Structure 1
Amino acid sequence: MSDEIVTSRVLRGAQLGKLVAGQAVRGAGVTLSAVRASEEERAARTERALADAAEDIVTVLGSMKGLAMKAGQLLSMFDPLAVFGRTTIPPEQRERFQRKLAELYDRAPQVSFERMRTVIESDYGRPLAEIFAEFEAEPIGAASIGQVYRARLADGRTVAVKVQYPGIDVAVRADVKNLALLMRMTRVLAPVFDDRVLYRELSTHLAAETDYRIEAENHRTIAEMYRGHPFIRIPEVISELCTPHVLVTEFAAGTPFSGIAALPAATRDRVGEIVMRFYAGSMLRFRRFTSDPHPGNIVLAPDGAVVFLDFGLFKEMDAAAVEFEMDCVRAAAEYRAGDLRALLVGYGVLDDDAPATPEECLRMFHEISGWLLTDADIRIPEDAGATALFTWIDPRRAYFDRWRDQYAPAEHALARRVEYGTLALLGTLRASANWHRIAREWIYGESPRTELGRLEQQWRTGEHT
């Protein structure tokens, strides 16, 4: 297979159209063949169809890169049921499907080193050997915008070098123009997507990822926010080596997320709390946060710190928007249904004459965010992220019809991505904690109840100003 990335809007649209049509035909075929088949035959056919679908998605979207591949990454979170006309799919089939799609995070089809080397040398204007003492030709990660390599500087430091795919900026611009087709693809593969919110998110934020100078600035901002933190670590940016197409940072050695998920429960619980503190805490405490929580961006360092990577998607929320988020959490946690609906109306999320009653608003919040609103120890199930998202946007649920014509503020789209993404990570870890008590540190300004919370408080009051 050629590693040339197609950049033409027409050709990229054609590739997506062919993929969409193929999955629709495959799903229809499984449904029709199931009419007279036994349950065992239906399960076998569905499993084969899921395997073929996942292989097609990874191959096509992985080779396309850009926003098309990012859409495939998002799909790895969601349930393939609707594609294949089934009301149930055995957990092992669902897991294999999602595990295959998860390869798009760090094991997608690679672009050759020769072509990537050209990008590096073009940006620096000199040979690779004059910049790095050593440079490993085999990438350690292949993502939607670029590939990551391990290298060594002349002073002995080991660094991670993220190199943008040649032509990816053109491909991303083409994808932005083709977003309508991307939305149709997600509707076929996961009909529960609210394409309006997804469209705003992709078109507003993802195109900025193609300038690594912006990501380097985001990365420095987050690194400064967490400098000296007792258990959250952000690799330092090597600013003098960053260019529009090359990003160089300290190398983060440690256990990848897949390995963390196999560790004992106590370690998984600890990492889960750190993951929540980083993603949710950054938003609620600092109003600045990275918006791409996924397994490829998390490493457990040998000393127990959790290292967070990749800051291309970055958001700074308005103070009023964050306060609205916390007001809603407080009202829902305290079962003040009338106040919750009034907040939604006052903020413009609901029309005053919208059919959603105060009780329905409260029930929906607890279905979506019950793990955060309930004052109890909760172990997060593996499907928690997808289940929470489905509650909000599944056309088969009553909430969809009663809320679909209401306004979803674009200011909060990435906040929801962080919420569902964080929940999905906690589910993968099967982490347990009293998440509500942790959140009360931010929502109510209460003293921490956990050891990690007390360590963080000491850092904030003693070292971080």
Structure 2
Amino acid sequence: MSDIPRGGVHRTAKLASLPLGAAGRAAAGWGRRLAGADGEEIAAQLSARSAEQLFAVLGELKGGAMKFGQALSIFEAAVPDELAEPYREALTKLQSSAPPMPARDVHRVLAEQLGRGWRERFADFDDEPTAAASIGQVHRAVWHDGRDVAVKVQYPGADEALLADLRQLGRFSRILQPLVPGMEIKPLIAELRDRMAEELDYRDEADNQRVFAEAFAGDPEIKVPRVVASSPKTVISEWITGRPLSSIIRDGDQPTRDEAGRLLSEFHYASPPRTGLLHADPHPGNFQLMADGRLAVIDFGAVARLPNGSPMVLQLMTRLALLGDSAQLMELLRTEGFVRPGMQLDPDEVLAYLGPFAEPLHTERFRFSRRWLQRQAERVGDLRSPDFRTGRALNLPPQHLLIHRVTFGTLGVMCQLGAEVPLRGIVSRWQPVITEGSDPEPGP
């Protein structure tokens, strides 16, 4: 079907090269240590080469492998700097980079999806892609009525490739785990696999985008481009121009970082009550700061459906943690299935585990940072820590997994930005039950 090499043997060999290559480099490094070479220097070399290979393989394969890399990239802020630095640039590239699909394949997909006369629907079409997504790429064009549009075209064979990638990555999850200490890879892969079917039909994505565009129409701070046309493998929407958050993370000044973090928080918390949906792909490539100050949001293939807004149980958990009410928090967790059956837990230890995650709501403004997120990851991931033992006894019901991942992914982006955000006020506006009756502590 496609001229892009996607044979099962080819893909399996490429993915297999990740753990095998890492093992080979580790063996070579061990030999150099025996010869008296500097251990830290060797470790740095191994990490840099592993990162290079990770990007090369995941980027070339696109599909599920690239989706996996994008998911990892928003969590890198939680990894200690000495481990994360070599991977940071490689993973960030996966948010917007992949080898392009040949023009002939693009034309074939458009002919299949829009009809043989597809060119007549455009006044102009640029064959060179402007961006890459995990299962498609974006071209700039001019619609027949003169509007600038973005045309997202799905890679031929992306459906089979995407699911095959995730199955293969699942087999390697234990070997890949050391690349991202402090985060469980296997559940992430399983959760991604469950969401993939929704993203493969671009008509679903277009419908989601229409809901967001209508809800945020005329909003002074959030811009969602309107959908112009869609089909199973293409979606055409208004063209937007802005500075991606990935660029701001890399070299933005502090005021710009703070404003980007504020707008991202506003969009995250406002979406469920305004749309009944939660944008579920929070990597920095999907958000752009426009010249007029608005935050533009793209890519609505993955959403959490929340017809009643953010689940009240999650809001109440946050409220009780913020109030320091360990007894009621413990009772709520047990009632709602957040404690594994048969586990005996001290309510105060549970509060000690969950309480720090509510820290950004204790003050009117909170400075997010990589170090703050690293401390949280270290605290719950240290095998010797009481928090680790508490975490092992807790359970995350499946219906809350996506919301949990999106929320922490959004926090991860704000930590990458290093943004100071008035989060308490934003949360009070959209989820008032959380902060009712709880006075913020004085700021520093």
TM-score, normalised via structure 1 length: 0.84
What's the counterpart of residue 201 of structure 1?
191
**How many angstroms apart in 1 are the aligned matches of 2:35 and 2:274?**
57
Given that 1:16 and 1:185 are in contact with CA atoms closer than 8 Å, whether structure 2 keeps it comes out as no
Identity of aligned residues (%): 32
Match of 1:254 among 242, 260, 266: 242
Given that 1:232 and 1:308 are in contact with CA atoms closer than 8 Å, whether structure 2 keeps it comes out as yes
Counterpart check, 1:315 vs 2:304: yes
3-state SS of 2:140 partner: strand
Mapping of residues 291-310 of structure 1, within 5 Å: 291-310=280-299
Unaligned runs of 5+ in 2: 437-444
Distance 1:52 1:156, change over 3 A: same
Distance 1:99 1:327, change over 3 A: same
**How many angstroms apart in 1 are the aligned matches of 2:435 and 2:400?**
27
Distance 1:243 1:192, change over 3 A: same
Given that 2:272 and 2:309 are in contact with CA atoms closer than 8 Å, whether structure 1 keeps it comes out as no
Letter in structure 2 aligned against 1:108: A
Distance 1:308 1:146, change over 3 A: same
What's the counterpart of residue 414 of structure 1?
402
Q: Once the two structures are superposed, what CA deviation does each residue of 1:441-462 show, in whole Å capped at 9, x if it has no partner?
A: 23326999xxxxxxxxxxxxxx
Counterpart check, 1:73 vs 2:63: no
Give the drift of 1:96: 4.2
Q: Once the two structures are superposed, what CA deviation does each residue of 1:301-346 show, in whole Å capped at 9, x if it has no partner?
A: 1111110010010111364971001000100000111111111111
Given that 2:74 and 2:413 are in contact with CA atoms closer than 8 Å, whether structure 1 keeps it comes out as no
**How many angstroms apart in 2 are the aligned matches of 1:341 and 1:81?**
27
3-state SS of 1:102 partner: helix
Give the drift of 1:44: 2.8
Mapping of residues 362-401 of structure 1, within 5 Å: 362-371=351-360, 373-385=361-373, 388=376, 391-392=379-380, 397-401=385-389
Letter in structure 1 aligned against 2:314: E
Distance 1:348 1:358, change over 3 A: same
Counterpart check, 1:264 vs 2:249: no
Q: Once the two structures are superposed, what CA deviation does each residue of 1:5-55 show, in whole Å capped at 9, x if it has no partner?
A: 4253x65334322212222343455466457757xx333322322221111
Aligned length: 434
**How many angstroms apart in 1 are the aligned matches of 2:307 and 2:346?**
28
Q: Once the two structures are superposed, what CA deviation does each residue of 1:53-103 show, in whole Å capped at 9, x if it has no partner?
A: 111111111111111111122233455999xxxxx754xx73342112211
**How many angstroms apart in 1 are the aligned matches of 2:384 and 2:73?**
21
**How many angstroms apart in 1 are the aligned matches of 2:434 and 2:327?**
25
Give the drift of 1:285: 6.0
What's the counterpart of residue 124 of structure 2?
134
What's the counterpart of residue 442 of structure 2?
none
Counterpart check, 1:212 vs 2:202: yes
TM-score, normalised via structure 2 length: 0.88
Any runs of at least 4 consecutive aligned residues in structure 1 with deviations exceeding 6 A, and if so which? Answer: none
Q: Once the two structures are superposed, what CA deviation does each residue of 1:102-128 show, in whole Å capped at 9, x if it has no partner?
A: 111111222222222211122122144
Letter in structure 1 aligned against 2:187: V
What's the counterpart of residue 4 of structure 1?
4
3-state SS of 1:228 partner: coil
3-state SS of 2:152 partner: strand
3-state SS of 1:414 partner: helix
Given that 1:193 and 1:394 are in contact with CA atoms closer than 8 Å, whether structure 2 keeps it comes out as no
Given that 1:284 and 1:322 are in contact with CA atoms closer than 8 Å, whether structure 2 keeps it comes out as no
**How many angstroms apart in 1 are the aligned matches of 2:248 and 2:113?**
36
Q: Once the two structures are superposed, what CA deviation does each residue of 1:177-205 show, in whole Å capped at 9, x if it has no partner?
A: 44531533542422533346324421221
Letter in structure 1 aligned against 2:235: L
Letter in structure 1 aligned against 2:137: Q
Given that 2:319 and 2:433 are in contact with CA atoms closer than 8 Å, whether structure 1 keeps it comes out as no
**How many angstroms apart in 2 are the aligned matches of 1:447 and 1:336?**
13
Mapping of residues 281-292 of structure 1, within 5 Å: 281-283=270-272, 286-292=275-281
